[in-house]
Amino acid sequence: MSALRLISNRTSQQALSNSDYTWDYEYYEYGPVSFEGLKAHKYSIVIGFWVGLAVFVIFMFFVLTLLTKTGAPHQDNTELSEKRFHMNSFVADFGRPLESERVFSHQMAEESQSLFHFCINEVDHMNKEKESQKGPSLESNTHFQEVPKSSGMFEEDLHCLTKFNIPNFVNTEQNSSLGEDDLLISEPPIIL
Amino acid sequence: ENISDFPLNITDCTQVVVPEEVFFTVAAAGILENLLILIAVVRNKNLHLPMYFFICSLAISDMLGSLYKTLENIFIILCKMGYLTRHGDFEKKLDDAMDSMFILSLLGSIFSLLAIAADRYITIFYALRYHNIMTLRRALVILAIIWAFCAGSSIAIALFSYEAATVIPFTILFPLMMCFILCLYVHMFLLARSHAKKIASLPSSTVHHRTNMKGAITLTIFLGVFLCCWAPFVLHILLARFCPHNPYCACYMSIFHVNGTLIMCNAIINPMIFAFRSPELRSTFKKMFYCSR
């Protein structure tokens, strides 16, 4: 890349005119470099850099794996473990599981209903606790949003939602990152 | 100034050359893939959401990077064939413009990734107010500001590339952004984990949990790919500025074309890990391809 040629050109040869500028692959402007008397291998920076990068990425992976450990595995029947797997991947993944889309939708419908009941309980509980403080801010959020009719994946959930007056931002079929919020509604909303 | 010829050692580090066919194939694949994403988002009204606009911004910056490499290759081939002169003001200005396009692509990638991470963060932590915080108009304004800043910085960096004052902030920006994005995602992770624990502890819930590797793998891929594709180039810039005559640095700089190819590979991989994970986008692609038959 020629920008880098310019970097070395101008640092070492300020007096040169434009006519010496050329556009080429070769980096002869760096000047002849003497390779005599090298203590380490000549590609040591390359090797060291890539090894360091690989170690860092693997270290990051292990740290993240430790963070996602949620407890001892339980042995249940295979159907429940199938549901479990889809639920886990839905929670911790930032995208939809690729292969389980169709199967997932039916399972999600059942599971999200139970979750919505849970989060509705949470919301009601929170309402009772701090009615005077949280009331106004919650009311401002409890407006309905239109449910797009294009995909029927979460129709049961949406029906459940509309009954319970929770802000319906479930455009989940379009916005995969918002999909996890079905499950994350149960967190007490962080009111600033 | 006279450049005297040193007797070079026979174990000299020669430039590692990537064949032009490989260059062009990788660049063309990157451009096509990202162009498809742009077309899909524009055509499907359901995808007119802030999240997809940020993914489009990433696609545009990837496309610029691949386009830059393609154009540079074409111009050098034209130079070799004699259609363009090697010296001269016009070529120098063209070269400067293309360098600034490349830096624009790098900065655009970094800020787009940051925007995507911030958008997901707001989605999760301010879930009930997401639609009030991140309206479509705000997302477009944010994108406009990001691209204006990137364009200004890239022109400034390309013009003043010989000063240390531009190289150092450029190379500091890169790890800073990476750390910030990592912190955002780790915080989201911790929330997802605590949430999963809460679900498991429900009395009525029969759902139990086991170690979930998929989230850790996803996040490692996100950041690992970006790091592995861009960090070699950033290191190259640092070494070119500070130790061009050191033999170790010169050997690192001899693999420059491999680093450039890595950046183009990033343009191919990014859509796979961001855009193609959305089922709506995938279904739009299927409709586009099946309808055209």
Residues B155-199 have pLDDT tens digits of: 887 777 656 666 777 778 888 888 888 888 888 878 877 877 787
Structure tokens at B18: 């990537």
pLDDT of A22 over the 70 cut: no
Is B191 within 8 Å of A60 when comparing Cβ atoms?
no
Residue B273 is predicted with a pLDDT of 85
Residue A12 is predicted with a pLDDT of 41
Contacts of B231 in chain A (CB under 8 A): 49, 53
Contacts of A45 in chain B (CB under 8 A): 239, 248-249, 251-252
Query: What distance in Å separates the CA atoms of residue B288 and residue B278, rounded to the nearest whole number?
Result: 16
Chains A & B: contacts with CB separation below 8 Å: 298
The answer to which of A48-62, A102-116, B119-133, B181-195 has the lowest mean pLDDT is A102-116
Residue B130: closest CA among chain A residues belongs to which residue?
A169
Contacts of B88 in chain A (CB under 8 A): 18
Least Cα separation, residue B176 to chain A (angstroms): 16
pLDDT of A178 over the 70 cut: no
Residue B140 is predicted with a pLDDT of 93
Q: pTM to 2 decimals?
A: 0.65
Q: For B208-238, how does the pLDDT look when each residue is reduced to its tens digit (9 = 90+)?
A: 445 556 777 877 888 888 889 888 988 888 8
The stretch B274-286 carries a mean pLDDT of 85
Residue B163 is predicted with a pLDDT of 64
pLDDT of A60 over the 70 cut: yes
Question: Do residues B280 and A174 touch, judged by C-beta distance below 8 A?
Answer: yes
- Give the number of other Cβ atoms within 10 Å of residue B291's Cβ: 7
DSSP character for B87? S
Residue A24: closest CA among chain B residues belongs to which residue?
B76
Q: How confident is the model at residue A123 (pLDDT cuts 50, 70, 90)?
A: low
Would you call A76 an interface residue with chain B, using a CB distance cutoff of 8 Å?
Answer: yes
Is B161 within 8 Å of A7 when comparing Cβ atoms?
yes
Tell me the residues of chain B between 157 and 216 that have a Cβ less than 8 Å away from chain A.
158, 161-162, 167, 182, 186, 188-193, 195-200, 202, 204-216
Residue B4 is predicted with a pLDDT of 43
Return the higher-pLDDT residue of B205 and B29.
B29
pLDDT of A156 over the 50 cut: no
The stretch A108-128 carries a mean pLDDT of 50
The answer to which of A176-180, B64-68, B226-230, B287-291 has the lowest mean pLDDT is A176-180
**What are the backbone angles phi and psi of residue A14, rounded to the nearest 5°?**
-70, -25
Residue B183 is predicted with a pLDDT of 86
pLDDT of A124 over the 50 cut: yes
Residue A14 is predicted with a pLDDT of 38
Q: Please, which contacts does A98-106 make with residues 24 or more away whose CB atoms are closer than 8 Å?
A: A98/B277, A101/B279, A105/A153, A105/A154
Residue A19: closest CA among chain B residues belongs to which residue?
B87
Return the higher-pLDDT residue of A149 and A125.
A125
Most confident of B56-60, B204-208, B214-218: B56-60
pLDDT > 70 in chain A, percent: 15
- Give the number of other Cβ atoms within 10 Å of residue A121's Cβ: 12
Residue A158 is predicted with a pLDDT of 39
Least Cα separation, residue B277 to chain A (angstroms): 5
The stretch A128-157 carries a mean pLDDT of 42
Residue B82 is predicted with a pLDDT of 80
Most confident of A82-91, A165-174, B26-35, B197-206: B26-35
Contacts of B247 in chain A (CB under 8 A): 33-35, 38, 42
Is A3 within 8 Å of B102 when comparing Cβ atoms?
yes
Q: Which domains does chain B have, with CATH numbers?
A: 20-196+212-284 (1.20.1070.10)
Would you call B246 an interface residue with chain A, using a CB distance cutoff of 8 Å?
Answer: yes
Is A177 within 8 Å of B120 when comparing Cβ atoms?
yes
Mean pLDDT over each residue of chain B, to the nearest integer: 82
Is B193 within 8 Å of A68 when comparing Cβ atoms?
yes
Would you call B5 an interface residue with chain A, using a CB distance cutoff of 8 Å?
Answer: yes
Would you call A148 an interface residue with chain B, using a CB distance cutoff of 8 Å?
Answer: yes
pLDDT > 90 in chain B, percent: 15
Least Cα separation, residue B24 to chain A (angstroms): 16
pLDDT of B94 over the 60 cut: yes
Residue A93 is predicted with a pLDDT of 52
Is A1 within 8 Å of B72 when comparing Cβ atoms?
yes
Would you call B89 an interface residue with chain A, using a CB distance cutoff of 8 Å?
Answer: yes
3-state secondary structure chain A: CHHHHHHHHHHHCCCCCHHHCCCCCCCHHHCCCCCCCCCCCCCHHHHHHHHHHHHHHHHHHHHHHHHHCCCCCCCCCHHHHHHHHHHHHHHHCCCCCCCCHHHHHHHHHHHHHHHHHHHHHHHHHHHHHCHHHHHHHHHHHCCCCCCCCCCCCCHHHHHHHHHCCCCCCCCCCCCHHHHCHHHHCCCCCCCC
Residue A33 is predicted with a pLDDT of 66
The stretch B131-141 carries a mean pLDDT of 90
